[in-house]
């Protein structure tokens, strides 16, 4: 049987995603109670990072260890991947020795090519185009704080980037409406908008996007790989900040999320992390639990 991959949220059905999130919450509760679980005993996850990471690396590595398995950190700097060995050759070799592979790359196509040649499940741990693992944690966090997100309004404030793209996919998968407030020239992908246009509204004014929303989300103005654009982006995004004033136009029970790392004084005001609606620390921790559920699903084909 061909391996099941997780390259975007579209690789799982709504039913599977909802079961996975329930399982993730269960894993979190068991872990907090100190219960030992060794469902992935002797299993190995290879982790390939072309870009930096704190949360993704720690959550996957700790998650594998907590489930009785182990994880290998592979950087292109110290492997043949950085010296031009073809992706497909690397995929065949690495996937002949481990049980799953997690990759963070620039081009989304790299993950697709790796997956096409891999005999074990491949997980997208962020590309220039998508960040589906973060959405698992975000959706788990919303569910734990507010129940089902079905029918809710989510406001994305800022760049039409990889996180925004995964929110667009999530809008269809989890059945909510997404208002995107972004400056001209920084819209999400046209192809995605065509596919999910009925779920997404693009506006210029952050307050218009945030009005009555149940969840406000943002991300850095310049993503990894866009460091040269920092100055130009600071200008373009100056009015695209989540702060208490913007939270005040949202629903009174609105939550605030950010995948982190955050730049205080840019996409959020300095006080947003501690705002009463902020769930950013739960969101970060849930990367661990959601991905443990994902690893069990992909490696063991189990969702409970």
259 is a site residue for ligand NVA (CB under 6 A): yes
Q: Is the CB of 160 or the CB of 206 nearer to ligand NVA?
A: 160
Distance CA 189, CA 192 (A): 5
Helix (H) or strand (E) holding 219: none
Interaction of residue 259 with ligand CP, rule CB under 6 A: yes
Binding mask 154-173 for ligand NVA (x = CB under 6 A): -------xxx----------
The helices-and-strands tally (H runs, E runs) of the chain is 11, 9
Instruction: Pick one of 134, 166, 223, 291: the residue that binds ligand CP (CB under 6 A).
Output: 134
Q: Which of 128, 129, 219, 251 is catalytic?
A: 219
Residues 48-77 vs ligand CP: string with x where CB under 6 A? -----xxxx---------------------
Q: Are 222 and 228 in contact (CB under 8 A)?
A: no
Indicate if 219 belongs to the active site: yes
Q: Which helix (H) or strand (E) holds 157?
A: strand 153-157
3-state secondary structure of 89: helix
Determine, following the binding rule CB under 6 A, whether residue 127 of this chain makes contact with ligand CP: no
Among 72, 193, 260, 273, binds ligand CP (CB under 6 A): 260
What's the gap between Cα 268 and its chain centre? 19
Would you tell me how many other CB atoms lie within 10 Å of the CB of residue 264?
11
What is the distance, to the nearest Å, from the Cα of residue 232 to the centroid of all Cα atoms in its chain? 26
Q: Can you read off the two tokens belonging to residue 210?
A: 């945030």
Q: Closest-CB residue for ligand CP?
A: 56
Binding site for ligand NVA (CB under 6 A): 126, 161-163, 219-220, 223-224, 259
Binding site for ligand CP (CB under 6 A): 53-56, 126, 134, 259-260
């Amino acid at each position: 049987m061909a391996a099941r991959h997780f390259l975007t949220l579209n690789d799982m059905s709504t039913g599977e995603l909802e079961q996975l999130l329930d399982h993730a919450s269960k894993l979190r509760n068991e872990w907090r109670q100190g219960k030992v679980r060794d469902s992935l005993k002797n299993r190995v996850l290879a982790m390939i990072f072309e870009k930096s990471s704190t949360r993704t690396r720690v959550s996957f590595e700790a998650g594998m260890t907590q489930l009785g398995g182990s994880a290998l950190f592979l950087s292109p700097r110290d492997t043949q991947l950085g010296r031009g060995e073809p992706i497909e050759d690397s995929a065949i070799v690495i996937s002949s020795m481990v049980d799953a592979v997690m990759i963070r790359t620039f081009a989304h196509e790299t993950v697709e090519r790796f997956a096409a040649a891999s005999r074990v499940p491949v997980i997208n741990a962020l590309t220039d185009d998508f960040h589906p693992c973060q959405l698992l944690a975000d959706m788990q966090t919303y569910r734990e704080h507010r129940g089902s997100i079905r029918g809710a309004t989510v406001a994305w404030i800022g760049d039409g980037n990889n996180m925004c793209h995964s929110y667009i996919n999530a809008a269809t998968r989890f059945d909510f409406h997404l208002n995107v407030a972004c400056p001209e020239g920084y819209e999400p992908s046209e192809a995605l908008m065509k596919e999910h246009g009925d779920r997404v509204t693009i506006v210029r004014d952050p307050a218009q996007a945030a009005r009555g929303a149940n969840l406000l989300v943002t991300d850095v103005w310049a993503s990894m790989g866009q460091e040269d654009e920092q100055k130009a982006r600071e200008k373009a995004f100056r009015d695209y900040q989540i702060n208490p004033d913007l939270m005040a136009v949202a629903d009174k029970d609105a939550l605030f999320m950010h995948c982190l790392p955050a730049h205080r004084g840019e996409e959020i005001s300095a006080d947003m992390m501690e705002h009463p609606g902020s769930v950013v620390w739960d969101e970060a921790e849930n990367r661990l639990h959601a991905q443990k559920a994902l690893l069990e699903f992909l490696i063991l084909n189990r969702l409970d």
